[in-house]
Amino acid sequence: MDADSLVRQGGRPPIRPGGGEGQVFAREMWGERDFRSCFRYLRQYALPPNTTIGAYKRDQIEDVFFISSGNGTLTINGEELPVRPGDIVFAGLGETRHIAGPTGEASAELVLWNVGVAMDFDVDEAADCA
């Protein structure tokens, strides 16, 4: 799945709470209205070469990232983790997250899935981002 495919299937440039560089695309598969639990979202991101989602922290939502294709870097609380297809990375409450796609124009984009689970039903995702 590449960024062009995501756009054709309803993807959009995501809101990036930490800022970042370049044009990243996202598609939300499920949202908080789809579940009665504290599940918040299942999203797919496509980061072309030289793009990032800037650093942000969540105090009430835990994230799991699953790498489906490409290579890049996830930084959790300052620990830089090179990632490749099949890797799964967890970011807990209060931990800072930063995502970087591949570097260099010839690189394949980084495609990942992100699952978010909140501490409570009343967590506002936008307000939880610092």
Q: How many residues does the chain have?
A: 130
In the predicted structure, residue 117 carries a pLDDT above the cut 80: yes
Read off the pTM: 0.75
User: Does residue 53 contact residue 24 with C-beta atoms inside 8 Å?
Assistant: yes
Residue 82, H or E segment: strand 79-83
Using DSSP, state whether 16 is helix, strand or coil. coil
pLDDT band at 22 (very low <50, low <70, confident <90, very high): confident
Confidence of residue 59 (pLDDT cuts 50, 70, 90): very high
- Eight-class DSSP state of 13: P
More confidently predicted of 107 and 2: 107
pLDDT (0 to 100) of residue 55: 93
Q: How many helices (H) and strands (E) does the chain have?
A: 1, 9
Residues 6+ apart with CB under 8 A from 68: 1, 44, 85, 111, 112, 113
- What are the pLDDT digits (tens) for 76-88? 999 999 999 999 9
Helix (H, G, I), strand (E, B) or coil at 115: strand
